[in-house]
Chain A
Amino acid sequence: MPNFNFRPLWRYEDQFIDGVLTTLLLTVSATAIGLVIGIIGAVVLRSGPKSARIGVRAYIEIIRNTPALLQIFIIFFVLPTIGLKFSPIQASIVALSIYFGAYASEILRSGLSSIPPSQIEAGLCLGLTRWQVLSRIVLPPAIRNIYPSITSQFVLLLLGTSIASQVSADELFHAAGFIDSRTYRSFEVYALTCGIYFTLVVFFKIVFALVGRAVFRWPTRR
């Protein structure tokens, strides 16, 4: 039986905590920016001029059909050659936002089109403005419909932030690498790191479930 020893890791508690905080920073920033991109993307896909629609489609396809690792490399290594220099954290946020934005565009678009046009008509017929119809009538059920996919995309993003370690953004996975190089306890370090990611994921899943249950109270068919 191999002997595991987690004790040497305790000295690096601070590094783990800093890593988690940076991971959360990356996740939350990329989610926020990505959602804004997603909203714009979805609206353009639904009712933008043709050239803009083609542009957004191309963006979505390029991002979804190339590895995120490569995207982060391009932001970090290629953009400086044309004068756009980012710190590792900045580059990671930019890359992950663009990445999340592509998936969010597609998800939000499907959410909007999941609402039957008759609902929009019913709102317009009551004399509401387009904005009122969108915010009061279309969005609440649309958000409910996409809630499962957008939250699981969030979880994938949280796990995906680990690739930021490859441009040495000092998030959790990078911290793990650092601690590994100091302690030579690779297996223990990565086992613990995986455990921390897992805990974060479970935490967010529980929060999402509770929020979902509190917010989406109305009964649906079936």
Chain B
Amino acid sequence: MALVEIKNVRKNYGPLEVLKGVSLDVEKGEIVTIIGRSGSGKSTLLRCINALETINSGEILLEGQSVSTSMDGLRQMRQKVGIVFQAFNLFPHMTIEKNVTLAPILTGKTDKRGAKELAFSVLERVGLADKLNAYPEQLSGGQQQRVAIARCLAMSPHLMLFDEVTSALDPELVGEVLKVMEGMAAQGMTMVLVTHEMNFARNVATKLVFMHQGRVWEQGDPKTLFANPQTPELKSFIGHHAR
């Protein structure tokens, strides 16, 4: 059983159909990168997995269970799925430690005493253990994004979703975030990420998904697809993004 099973999902905003029957499996431990032109539905797909958007037809199974529509079921599910956005979305009024420990405490994953240790250990994983008492506004973009990742890690997620997490960063800050993500990949985290970082897609990912006009246009082994795209659309996409 795959960790995530996406079966023929359709999604429209009003008259605009954004996902036109998407099917995709994510196995445990897999690193799936989704690439594709702007507007092809990548973000929408990620948001559907996390039920931030409701789907119009089809089905999404997480660990064999259909994504619930009840508020309680949704919360249970979201506690297992971490998502990081392009805009870091840290909570400006909380210290880094509070940002990281808020959800584990409120959802009963840890008590206040354990929270401090938890904060230290996840922040150490992203290289920011010295920033426990800083506020988000006092950090650089790259640091904020690493805190956002740590905030998810503190919930010990089974699956991590990343939506263009390096796109808003200055070029010199991209590397530190990618390094953290590579570290997570090496430790066996299941990850689905939308990215324009072709090197990451080629070298770290275990599966490449090319989306085009609301469909999974091509998918397979990254190195094979990069070397040998089957469709003219992927070929031209790679052509545009190759450096």
A residues neighboring B (CB under 8 Å): 118-119, 121-130, 132, 136-137, 140-141, 144, 216, 218-221
Question: Which stretch in B15-23, B24-32, B59-67, B76-84 binds the other chain?
Answer: B76-84
Docked-complex contact A125 and B76, CB < 8 angstroms: no
For B107, list chain A residues within 8 Å (CB).
126-128
Docked-complex contact B155 and A144, CB < 8 angstroms: no
Docked-complex contact B78 and A218, CB < 8 angstroms: no
For A125, list chain B residues within 8 Å (CB).
50, 52, 78, 81-83
The 7 closest A-B pairs by CB, nearest first: A127-B79, A126-B103, A122-B89, A127-B78, A219-B137, A140-B93, A218-B93
Question: In the complex where A121-B52, A137-B91, A141-B92 touch, is A220 in contact with B85 (Cβ < 8 A)?
Answer: no
A72-B91 Cα distance, complex, nearest whole Å: 43
Docked-complex contact A119 and B91, CB < 8 angstroms: yes
Q: Is B138 an interface residue (CB 8 A)?
A: yes
B residues neighboring A (CB under 8 Å): 50, 52, 71, 75-76, 78-79, 81-83, 85, 87, 89-94, 102-103, 106-107, 135, 137-138, 151-152, 155
Docked-complex contact B106 and A136, CB < 8 angstroms: yes
Question: In the complex where A119-B89, A136-B106, A141-B92 touch, is A127 in contact with B76 (Cβ < 8 A)?
Answer: yes
A121-B90 Cα distance, complex, nearest whole Å: 11
A209-B84 Cα distance, complex, nearest whole Å: 37
Docked-complex contact A126 and B155, CB < 8 angstroms: yes
For A132, list chain B residues within 8 Å (CB).
106
Closest to B88 in A: A122
For A140, list chain B residues within 8 Å (CB).
93
Chain A's nearest CB lies how many Å from the CB of B135?
Answer: 5
For A137, list chain B residues within 8 Å (CB).
91
A123-B98 Cα distance, complex, nearest whole Å: 13
For A123, list chain B residues within 8 Å (CB).
91
A51-B142 Cα distance, complex, nearest whole Å: 46
For A136, list chain B residues within 8 Å (CB).
91, 102, 106
For B138, list chain A residues within 8 Å (CB).
219
For B89, list chain A residues within 8 Å (CB).
118-119, 121-122
Chain A's nearest CB lies how many Å from the CB of B72?
Answer: 9
A140-B151 Cα distance, complex, nearest whole Å: 19
For A130, list chain B residues within 8 Å (CB).
71
Chain A's nearest CB lies how many Å from the CB of B104?
Answer: 9
A128-B135 Cα distance, complex, nearest whole Å: 21
For A121, list chain B residues within 8 Å (CB).
52, 85, 89
Closest to B72 in A: A129
Q: What are 13 contact pairs spanning A and B, CB under 8 A?
A: A122-B85, A123-B91, A124-B52, A126-B151, A126-B155, A127-B76, A127-B103, A127-B155, A132-B106, A136-B91, A144-B93, A218-B137, A219-B135
* Further pairs besides A126-B103, A136-B106, A141-B93: 17, Cβ < 8 Å: A118-B87, A121-B52, A121-B89, A125-B78, A125-B81, A125-B83, A126-B107, A126-B151, A127-B107, A127-B155, A128-B75, A128-B102, A137-B91, A141-B92, A218-B94, A219-B135, A220-B137
For A220, list chain B residues within 8 Å (CB).
92, 137
A119-B93 Cα distance, complex, nearest whole Å: 12
Chain A's nearest CB lies how many Å from the CB of B142?
Answer: 17
A166-B30 Cα distance, complex, nearest whole Å: 76
Chain A's nearest CB lies how many Å from the CB of B52?
Answer: 6
A144-B151 Cα distance, complex, nearest whole Å: 24
Tell which of A129, A216, A218, A219 touches B75, judged by Cβ atoms closer than 8 Å.
Answer: A129
